[in-house]
Each structure stands twice: as structure tokens, then as C-alpha cells.
């Protein structure tokens, strides 16, 4: 039994099969000795109620973009961002650089999020305005300070490019930053 407002799969399957059969009959070439086919007058079909159209559409969207599938895709993306950021540890800071040999703070976040298809500007203050503000960080959230940005990696830690003369490091989140979630 189907949920209220949804079209049962058997009805959809039967309708699609009937429509495909009718198309094959109409499009099949006639034998050479046959007389031209007389097509029947098209029947006037009753319009489908809007509620049925919406139910079919929402059923399609729920099955194609289920919450569990979206959550799994976001979890994989977060893991890729964190893995990329951690792989850059030990590379030197260089103002205005976005890798692959040297990074500044916003260049590191830009490069990490680019791996999962998220485009960020190359400015820590512009990145600070992206996404939505959250109170508790998750992996791959932006850790935003005044004039500085890093990537949360979980357990109260972040990866960032601290400044001139230093290397990209993983360290404890310090002070009172603002956390920005770009997806998930």
C-alpha cells in the first residue's frame, strides 16, 4: 500500500508500458503491401489534478535527493576537505599564495574547498561572509578570526597557515572565533 498522495509504482509502471507500446505501434514502419494507415482521432484526455502532479514530483525528488544521500555526500566532502588541509601541513606560508607549494591562510581554505567544488574568494574577510554562522564547529567548517581563517578538523582543532615565517600547522582552536558552515 502506498503512502497518501503518492502514485503507486504499479500504476506508474503500467502507464509507462502502455505509452511505450503505443509509441512503438505508431512509429513502426508499415509493410510495403499495406495500405496507408488511418489514424484514429485523438481522444481528449482529462487533465491530471494538480495534487497528483505535485505528489508525483515530490516522490521523484525524495527518491533522487533523499536526506540520507545528501548527508552522506556532505560527509564525504567534509572528509576530503580535512584530508587535503592536513596533507598541506609543513608547507611554508607565503602572502597571496594558494598552493601547491606555499599558502596564505585564505589560499589554503580556497584550495581545500575547491577540491569539493566550493568556490571561495581569496580574501579572509570575504570568506568570513560565506556560508552560515554556527555555534559549534564540525569538520570542514571555516574558523574565522579578524583577518585570519582556518579549517576546523574536529576535536577542537584546526589547520591553518599562521603567518610569515611559519608553516601550515594543525593546532587547537584558540580565542573566540566565528564558525562558518559552507555545506551540510
65-109 pLDDT per residue, tens:
788 989 999 999 999 999 999 999 999 999 999 999 999 999 999
* pLDDT per residue as tens digits for the range 112-140: 999 999 999 999 999 999 999 999 999 99
Q: Where are the domains of the chain?
A: 90-181
The predicted structure's pLDDT at residue 184: 81
The pLDDT score that the predictor gives to residue 141 is: 98
With 80 as the cut, is the pLDDT of residue 20 above it? no
Looking at the domain that runs over 90-181, which CATH code has it been given? 3.90.1720.10
What is the 3-class SS of the chain, one letter each residue? CCCCCCCCHHHHHHHHHHHHHHHHHHHCCCCCCCCCCCCCCCCCCCCCCHHHHHHHHHHHHHHHCCHHHHHHHHHHHHHHHHHHHHHCCCCEECCCCECCCCECHHHHHHHHHHCCCCCCCCCHHHHCCCCEEECCCCCCCEEEECCEEEEEEECCEEEECCCCCCECEEEECCCCCEEEECCC
In the prediction, which pLDDT does 58 show? 52
pTM confidence score? 0.65
Amino acid at each position: 500500500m502506498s503512502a497518501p498522495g503518492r502514485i503507486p509504482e504499479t500504476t506508474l509502471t503500467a502507464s509507462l508500458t502502455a505509452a511505450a507500446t503505443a509509441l512503438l505501434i505508431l512509429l513502426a514502419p508499415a509493410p510495403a503491401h499495406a495500405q496507408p494507415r488511418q489514424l484514429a482521432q485523438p481522444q481528449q484526455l482529462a487533465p491530471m489534478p494538480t495534487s497528483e502532479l505535485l505528489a508525483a514530483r515530490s516522490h521523484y525528488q525524495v527518491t533522487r535527493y533523499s536526506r540520507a544521500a545528501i548527508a552522506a555526500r556532505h560527509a564525504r566532502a567534509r572528509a576530503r576537505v580535512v584530508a587535503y588541509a592536513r596533507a598541506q601541513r609543513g608547507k611554508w606560508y607565503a602572502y597571496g599564495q594558494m598552493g601547491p607549494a606555499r599558502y596564505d591562510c585564505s589560499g589554503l581554505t580556497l584550495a581545500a574547498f575547491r577540491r569539493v567544488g566550493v568556490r571561495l574568494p581569496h580574501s579572509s574577510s570575504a570568506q568570513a561572509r560565506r556560508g552560515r554562522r554556527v555555534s559549534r564547529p564540525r569538520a570542514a567548517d571555516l574558523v574565522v578570526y579578524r583577518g585570519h581563517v582556518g579549517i576546523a578538523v574536529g576535536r577542537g582543532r584546526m589547520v591553518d597557515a599562521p603567518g610569515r615565517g611559519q608553516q601550515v600547522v594543525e593546532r587547537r582552536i584558540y580565542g573566540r572565533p566565528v564558525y562558518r558552515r559552507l555545506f551540510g
